[in-house]
Amino acid sequence: MGRYVITGGAGGMGQATARRLAADGHATVLIDVSPRLEGIAAEIDGAVAITADLSDPAQCDSAVEGAFEAGAEVDGALLAAGVTGTFGPASRGLAEFDRVMAINARSTLLVGEAVASRMADSETPGSLVLISSSAAHAAIGQAAYSASKAAVEAIGKELAVAYAQSGIRVNVIAPGLIDTEMAADAKSKPEILAGVLSGTLLGRLGRAEEIAGTVAFLLSADASYITGSTLLVDGGLLAS
């Protein structure tokens, strides 16, 4: 079966995807800065942990190099590493912009390029999935975060074009508000949570397992004619 790199491997969507891929018979390499990563990887069949701070460009490349050295060939990746942004005027500050963009956008580009180029060099076809957000499509009072996720969607298209001839597909998932630890800040603000739920056609938060299922589909041969696309998995948030 396949072997996949997952950045943000200690986060809700990263963990859920690793567990889904393990259930499907695949191995994973989990990359995250969290001290919980080793314990999480130990609980998932076929998972290997690589601790790295992806806000550091040098560690982006070294983590990917470690992933390729850790076993058999890599068949693709989920790039889910990310941080939340602040709300309001602070979200438009330079320091906040640099902090959020370093992880959400820059590491996505660097890790995506590092994985795809190595796959291309080894003539390994496969698939990359990047995580954006519905916030890339609507103003939510988090300027830096929204900008970073819009950048992810642009990066996805660029990588899709760059590596299509190598048989590497690249797609983006834009989730709505997903019930994970990363959403804790938004969930703690009643006015924000109420606004999201009232504007979501399905009337609830998404589950990490629902994102994992979508990732598994896009990584699989069932999605063999899909590349350069952004798939909204938001419960109808942007349709209302």
**Alpha-carbon distance 216 to 55, whole Å?**
26
Q: Which of 113, 150, 139, 146 is nearest to 128 (CA)?
A: 113
Sign of the alpha-carbon dihedral angle for 158, 8, 82, 204: positive
Q: Which of 127, 153, 109 is nearest to 218 (CA)?
A: 127
**Alpha-carbon distance 154 to 235, whole Å?**
23
Q: What are 90's two structure tokens?
A: 């602070």
For 207, the 3-state DSSP assignment is: coil
By the 8 A CB rule, do 125 and 166 touch? yes
**Alpha-carbon distance 214 to 194, whole Å?**
26
4, 145, 163, 225: which is the annotated catalytic residue?
A: 145
**Do the strands 126-131 and 76-79 form a parallel or antiparallel pair, or are they unpaired?**
parallel
Q: Which of 50, 56, 101 is nearest to 77 (CA)?
A: 50
> Quick check: is 163 catalytic?
no
Catalytically active residues are 145
